[in-house]
Amino acid sequence: MRSRSRAFSSAVLLSAVALAASACSSSSSSDPLGGSSKAASGNSTVVIGSANYPENVLLASIYSQALQAKGVKVTEKFNIGSREVLYGQIKDGNLTVLPEYNGALLAYLDSKSTAATESDVNAALTKELPSSLGILDSAAAEDKDSLTVSQDTASKYNLKTIADLAPQAADFTVGGMPEFKSRREQQFKDVYGLTFKDWKPTADTTANAIKDGTVQVGDVFTTDPKLLQLGLVSLADPKDLFGAQNVTPLVYKAGVDSTASAALNAVSAKLDTAGLVTLMKKVSIDKDDPQAVAKDWVKANGLG
């Protein structure tokens, strides 16, 4: 199972939210929360944290807007850092809510887990988390690896799922990070019966390489806004080779009441992958303010 540790290395993405995140980011002291008090039972303030990359900041903003619309008092602690820092803070009760990815969180807690489907991953997570923490409803939205092709290629060969690549795989070159071949080549053979012509390291330029024909298929994350910008198609993965990576609220249970839980579950019920891609395009490509994007989404979906 892939551990989702990347932080959107592109400077374009980081700059898109730097201004909005700076107002609510952590202090530079050893305490990443700047001395925030525990989100204990009876405390009417929900403390929402986020990792230090644009998509997670956007998701935290959506959670914040949805909670505030229901009258919940919120403190935002965005752009804190990596999962290693965030998990310790929510475990200690210094944070109340985090936007997480269920598969990546499970891999962090149990690197040997083989759970792949949303239900299996969430069941395993429930067993692994300490009693003070819990997960709420997962969204349909997922940020995970996908085999992606151009719209022209999808149309020409009637490609909708990874399995549909079987007749063409021997003529196709695959692009991705340098380690993509070593991690996935045997899995594609075992799970889908695919043997590709060649594997080309394309790193962060994979989407562009698909568009310009340097490769015919490549590994692109399912919420990458270049999917929209370049008109690419992520192929469905019916056998769950890549494993679930659903957006899922991780909560410090003593700090969330039924009103807060219901508001967060309502977000999950409305948030799908296509919608998240659209939101990320607004933030990272159109350079819209992420908190304004979040507010508009909450209102448009009847949550605020």
Q: Tokens standing for 31?
A: 């305490």
CB atoms under 10 Å from CB of 67, counted, come to 25
Q: What's the whole-number mean pLDDT along residues 27-50?
A: 58
Instruction: Answer whether residue 9 shows pLDDT above 80.
Output: no
The CA distance from 223 to 291, in Å, is 18
Give the percent of the chain with pLDDT over 90.
83
The pLDDT of residue 203:
82
d(CA 28, CA 256): 28
Per-residue model confidence (pLDDT) at position 304: 85
Give the dihedral of Cα atoms 55, 60, 62, 66; nearest 10 deg.
170
| pTM strictly above 0.85 | no
Q: pLDDT value at position 188?
A: 96
Domain boundaries, the chain: 11-142+243-300, 147-234
Indicate whether 251 pLDDT > 90. Answer: yes
Which fold does the domain 11-142+243-300 belong to in CATH?
Answer: D-Maltodextrin-Binding Protein; domain 2 (3.40.190)
Q: How far apart are CA 223 and CA 96, in angstroms?
A: 25
- Classify 50 as helix, strand or coil: strand
Q: Residue 227 has what pLDDT?
A: 95
Mean pLDDT of the chain: 88
**Weakest mean pLDDT among 37-41, 135-139, 147-151, 254-258:** 37-41
Going by pLDDT thresholds of 50, 70 and 90, the confidence category of residue 40 is very low
How would residue 38 be classed by pLDDT, with cut points 50, 70 and 90? low
pLDDT for the residue 293: 97
CATH number, domain 147-234, options 3.40.50.1260, 3.30.450.20, 3.10.20.30, 3.40.190.120: 3.40.190.120
Per residue in 163-207, pLDDT (tens digit) is 999 999 999 999 999 899 998 999 999 999 999 999 999 988 999
- Check if 11-142+243-300 and 147-234 are the same fold: yes
User: Torsions phi, psi of 63, nearest 5?
Assistant: -60, -45
Residue 86 has a pLDDT of: 96
User: What pLDDT, in 10s, does the model give residues 76-107?
Assistant: 999 999 999 999 999 999 999 999 999 999 99
